[in-house]
Amino acid sequence: MNGENVISSKKITQNLGFIGAGNMAKAITDGLLKSEAVKPSQMYVCAPSNRNLASWKTLGVNTSNNNGYALENTDVTVLAMKPQYLDSVIDNLVLSHPLPENHIFISILVGVTLETLQRKLSRFIKSPRVAKVIPNTPMLVQEGCSVFCCTHPADNEIIELVQAIFSKGGICEMIPEPLMNAMGALSGSGPAFVYMIIEALSDGAVKMGIPREMSTHFSAQTLLGAAKMVLETGKHPGQLKDEVCSPGGSTICGVHALELGGLRHALIDAIEAATKRSEEIGKQK
């Protein structure tokens, strides 16, 4: 690879490799393909199982069971496997030729630090250029949240590349590495917490006689609308909540029930628990 490709606001000219073909890798590539930022022929996806690769093949993406294929044919390699497989993937990588020094690695491995990634990848490149990104699955519908940090914070090529890839599926911002685990708990794990809230609201509506399909649809739309109100008005969520609550009305009675049930406490605990687990995973590496 020549390493002289230029990133435009619309197109990414680098070839992109993915080691791992799970849901998050699919969300990233779907965002890129839907936005036409890359062509399927620019992507090289590797996974141990042909079953995982079947859907990629139908898109015209290059696929292989050999992880070295993703490195040798690309300028940028995205590490998208489960973090517990990092060592085995690196230990079993066989390359037919050395990688160029300007090869870029992007990791979406939860909890694995930049220092760990640099140390483990230095067997292929003396001083690997690495970005660590925490995306989320709503990238599939171009409403994702991604945060990143990198080993060379002044390396504009890496910064622009990460933003070009991940902004195709939503918002993408650079933050200090010490904040990555907490942001991963918020935006990376957060969709799972929100799905539970949507499901619970739907259950409540079903209990009160609303058909399931309608209750789920309106629960999801209610959260979408409320989120847009926060984003577009710039008002504090507490203020917006107060604007819905009339004195002695039904909404404030519902809010009281949520407070009694410990909603705030549970969500705060969920962010803390997910953050701590990410930190534990990082220490294991």
Helix (H, G, I), strand (E, B) or coil at 164: helix
Q: Tell whether 169 is in a known binding site.
A: no
239 token code pair: 């203020």
Helix (H, G, I), strand (E, B) or coil at 247: coil
Q: Tell whether 282 is in a known binding site.
A: no
Strand order in the sheet with 129-134: 62-64, 43-46, 16-19, 76-79, 104-107, 129-134, 144-150, 170-174
Q: Tell whether 24 is in a known binding site.
A: yes
Q: Tell whether 214 is in a known binding site.
A: no
- How far is the C-alpha of 191 from the C-alpha of 62, rounded, in Å? 30
- How far is the C-alpha of 246 from the C-alpha of 101, rounded, in Å? 63
Q: Tell whether 209 is in a known binding site.
A: no
Helix (H, G, I), strand (E, B) or coil at 79: strand
Q: Tell whether 21 is in a known binding site.
A: yes
Q: Tell whether 274 is in a known binding site.
A: no
- How far is the C-alpha of 96 from the C-alpha of 160, rounded, in Å? 30
Q: Tell whether 34 is in a known binding site.
A: no
Helix (H, G, I), strand (E, B) or coil at 58: helix
Q: Tell whether 82 is in a known binding site.
A: yes
- How far is the C-alpha of 147 from the C-alpha of 135, rounded, in Å? 7
Q: Tell whether 83 is in a known binding site.
A: yes
Q: Tell whether 22 is in a known binding site.
A: yes
Residue 211, Cβ density class (10 Å: 0-12 exposed, 13-18 middle, ≥19 buried): exposed
Query: For residue 148, which of 176, 120, 121 has the smallest C-alpha distance?
Result: 176
- The secondary element (H helix, E strand) that includes residue 266 is helix 263-284
Place of tokens 């936005």: 35
Residues making up the annotated binding site for NADP(+) are 19-24, 80-83
Residues annotated in a binding site: 19-24, 67, 80-83
Instruction: List, as residue ranges, the binding site for NADPH.
Output: 67
